[in-house]
């Protein structure tokens, strides 16, 4: 069958949600097209497998940025998921919504229907939270959310350090207290498995006769006739297939691949399309622009005692840990390696946190070791500074008219001097925290930036030499009404009928946290829009009596 009602391109964090919700009505014929393969692999199921999965070309698009002009010309790794579940199948599983005011900002930017009160019901609908149902959380959704198992992760010293350093401890960063030191939360199910959207949303729908899933397929273009999207062309197993969509084509390829496919289809900046001899169907200058990412600046310390997670990476312990996980879904490999989720303001006058510390109890290049075979590495920990609300913006464009070629991505991180100021202040804040007792009793030598680097100029040099990103790209098909907007608040592509974009690329600004949960929320909300259902009633617990939204 080559005719469907809805054709979804990309089975990632958003696409799997749409496939489930749209096919729940047996009258809807739904096709889901994905370039990658199955998510049912060991590295994609065991939570700690993400440390290897992120770098495994079997499950990723191993993209690299263009040489970055503000990062000493370095090309930055920017892998994306190429598998059912997309990046939700390879990411670090962190569950964060961002700050509530992030969504109010979207509404203020002209995105009607996207204020915090209007998106909270969809966050609640999608989750089964370990906290149970309440004003801030749901307990009946497909996506399981569990706390980090903090054993072996050096959690307690950091939490005790919070008060000593003058910072709040938050029982729940997704509720009233949106700033401080908190226990991390992960998308892991009760059996200790990664709760990707492939597992949470797609698997329960696979038996439906009205849902067709095609894997190993590269979508080459959207078919457009008289200003309407009527289908797609994809290539799989050496053959080209043209599919008809009687209602809508929905792009869920993410912030790199959705704008790429729009441009390959003749929708985008006319001058850029002309460079590749692509006929301009609709001149939409914002396609590929407004790229925003969370920069990450390394801050690493040694430990004074061998108490890092390297203890669990001795070969015999790894074998036992993997076996324990396989048999019981528990143990050190059933969680993430995060000591504490730290979200703070670098300046008291800010209205929301502007940095997150990536506090991990193990070095980034940790390896399995065993005496006499491979030496144990030096114990080290991280306190990397992540900028939650960067001002810098990048862009992407086509590298060629070949759908198999990766897009040309320029992150342009730290092009705005304000981001350098935030990063410098964040480094100094991380140093202060890790030199405060009781954490200071564990913290040894500063490896990065290095204690000798103290001046602003020296720290800027470290940033340019070392900064990476957190794999949270957004904004390249931005939502809104202005001349650079790509989709409207209903996520319909401006100027084209029957075509929507539903993924992180529609976010006008990057939320102050990991972007997987907001992307799933967007997909949940989009389903009601596509099906013509009324939006869920707004909810805002912030106005119900408890208003301690941030530290004084």
* DSSP class per residue in 265-299: TTEE-HHHHHHTT---SEE-TTTT--BB--EEE--
pLDDT tens-digit profile of 195-230?
999 999 999 999 999 999 999 999 999 999 999 999
- Look at residue 552 in the predicted model and tell me its pLDDT: 29
Q: Could you tell me where in the chain the CATH 3.30.410.40 domains are found?
A: 149-183+296-387+415-466
Assigned CATH class of 149-183+296-387+415-466:
alpha beta
Classify domain 1-144+193-294+394-410+471-542 at the CATH topology level.
FAD/NAD(P)-binding domain (3.50.50)
The stretch 111-137 carries a mean pLDDT of 99
Helix (H, G, I), strand (E, B) or coil at 499: strand
pLDDT tens-digit profile of 432-476?
999 999 999 999 999 999 999 999 999 999 999 999 999 999 999
- Name the active-site residue from 241, 472, 481, 494: 472
The stretch 268-290 carries a mean pLDDT of 99
- Look at residue 154 in the predicted model and tell me its pLDDT: 95
HEC secondary structure over 330-398: CCHHHCCCCCEEEEECCCCCCCCCCEEEEEECCCCCCCCEECCCECCCCCEEEEEEEECCCCCCEEEEC
DSSP string spanning 233-269? Answer: EEEETTEEEEEEEEEEEEE-SHHHHHHHHHHHTTEE-
472 annotated active-site: yes
- Look at residue 78 in the predicted model and tell me its pLDDT: 98
Picking from 124, 138, 119, 16, the residue whose alpha carbon sits closest to that of residue 511 is 119
Residues across the chain: 552
DSSP state of 525: H
HEC secondary structure over 43-96: HHHCHHHHHHHCCCCCCEECCECCCCCCCCCCCCECCEECECCHHHHCCCCECC
Picking from 154, 164, 162, the residue whose alpha carbon sits closest to that of residue 179 is 162
Give the residue with greater pLDDT, 364 vs 508: 508
- C-alpha 180/C-alpha 356 separation (Å) is 9
Helix (H, G, I), strand (E, B) or coil at 24: coil
pLDDT tens-digit profile of 64-118?
999 999 999 999 999 999 999 999 999 999 999 999 999 999 999 999 999 999 9
CB 265 within 8 A of CB 234: no
Picking from 95, 64, 68, the residue whose alpha carbon sits closest to that of residue 184 is 95
DSSP state of 202: I
Place of tokens 């993400």: 50
DSSP state of 466: H
Task: Centre a 10 Å sphere on the Cβ of residue 20 and count the other Cβ atoms it contains.
Answer: 25
CB 469 within 8 A of CB 294: yes
Picking from 248, 277, 249, 271, the residue whose alpha carbon sits closest to that of residue 261 is 249
- C-alpha 197/C-alpha 432 separation (Å) is 38
- Look at residue 549 in the predicted model and tell me its pLDDT: 37
- C-alpha 65/C-alpha 67 separation (Å) is 6
- Look at residue 544 in the predicted model and tell me its pLDDT: 63
The pLDDT of residue 53 is above 60: yes
- Look at residue 543 in the predicted model and tell me its pLDDT: 79
Q: pTM (2 decimals)? A: 0.97
Q: Could you tell me where in the chain the CATH 3.50.50.60 domains are found?
A: 1-144+193-294+394-410+471-542
Which tokens is 514 given?
A: 């990991």
- C-alpha 2/C-alpha 23 separation (Å) is 17
């Amino acid at each position: 069958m080559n005719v469907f009602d809805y054709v979804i391109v990309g089975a990632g964090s958003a696409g799997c949600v749409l496939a489930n919700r749209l096919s729940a009505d047996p009258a809807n014929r739904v096709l889901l097209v994905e370039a990658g393969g199955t998510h049912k692999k060991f590295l994609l199921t065991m939570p700690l497998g993400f440390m290897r999965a992120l770098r495994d070309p079997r499950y990723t698009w191993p993209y690299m940025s263009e040489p970055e002009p503000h990062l000493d010309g370095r090309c930055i790794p920017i892998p994306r998921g190429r598998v059912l579940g997309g990046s939700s199948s390879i990411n670090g599983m962190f569950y964060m919504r961002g700050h509530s005011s992030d969504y109010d900002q979207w509404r203020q930017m002209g995105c009607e229907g996207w204020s915090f009160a209007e998106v909270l019901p969809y966050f609640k609908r999608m989750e089964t939270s370990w906290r149970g149902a309440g004003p801030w959380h749901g307990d009946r959704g497909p996506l399981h959310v569990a706390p980090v198992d903090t054993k072996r992760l050096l959690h307690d010293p950091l939490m005790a350090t919070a008060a000593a350093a003058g910072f709040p401890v938050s029982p729940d960063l997704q509720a009233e207290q949106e700033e401080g030191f908190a226990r991390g939360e992960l998308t892991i199910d009760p059996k200790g498995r990664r709760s990707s959207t492939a597992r949470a949303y797609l698997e329960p729908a696979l038996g439906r006769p009205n849902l067709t899933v095609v894997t190993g397929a590269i979508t080459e273009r959207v078919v457009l006739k008289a200003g309407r999207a009527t289908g797609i062309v994809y290539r799989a197993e050496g053959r080209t297939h043209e599919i008809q969509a009687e209602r809508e084509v929905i792009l869920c390829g993410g912030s790199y691949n959705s704008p790429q496919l729009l441009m390959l289809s003749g929708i985008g900046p006319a001058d850029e399309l002309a460079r590749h001899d692509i006929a301009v169907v609709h001149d939409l200058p914002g396609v590929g622009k407004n790229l925003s990412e969370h920069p990450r600046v390394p801050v690493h310390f040694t430990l004074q005692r061998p108490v890092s997670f390297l203890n669990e990476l001795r070969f015999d312990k790894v074998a036992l840990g993997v076996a324990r996980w396989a048999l019981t879904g528990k143990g050190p490999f059933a969680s993430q390696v995060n000591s504490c989720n730290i979200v703070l303001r670098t300046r008291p006058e800010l209205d929301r946190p502007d940095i997150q510390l990536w506090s991990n109890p193990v070095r980034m290049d940790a390896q399995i070791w065993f005496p006499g075979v491979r030496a144990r590495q030096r114990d080290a920990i991280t306190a990397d500074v992540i900028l939650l609300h960067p001002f810098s913006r990048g862009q992407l464009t086509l590298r060629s008219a070949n759908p198999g070629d990766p897009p040309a991505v320029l992150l342009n991180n730290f092009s705005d001097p304000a981001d350098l100021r935030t990063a410098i202040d964040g480094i100094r804040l991380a140093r202060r925290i890790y030199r405060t007792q009781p954490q200071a009793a564990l913290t040894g030598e500063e490896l990065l930036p290095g204690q000798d680097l103290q001046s602003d100029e020296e720290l800027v040099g470290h940033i340019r030499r070392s900064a990476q990103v957190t794999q949270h790209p957004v904004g390249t098909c931005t939502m809104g009404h202005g001349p650079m907007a790509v989709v409207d608040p209903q996520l319909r592509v401006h100027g084209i009928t029957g075509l929507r974009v539903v993924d992180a690329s529609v976010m006008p600004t990057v939320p102050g946290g990991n972007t997987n949960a907001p992307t799933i929320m967007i997909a949940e909300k989009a389903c009601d829009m596509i099906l013509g259902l009324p939006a869920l009633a707004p909810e805002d617990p912030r106005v119900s009596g408890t208003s301690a939204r941030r530290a004084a």
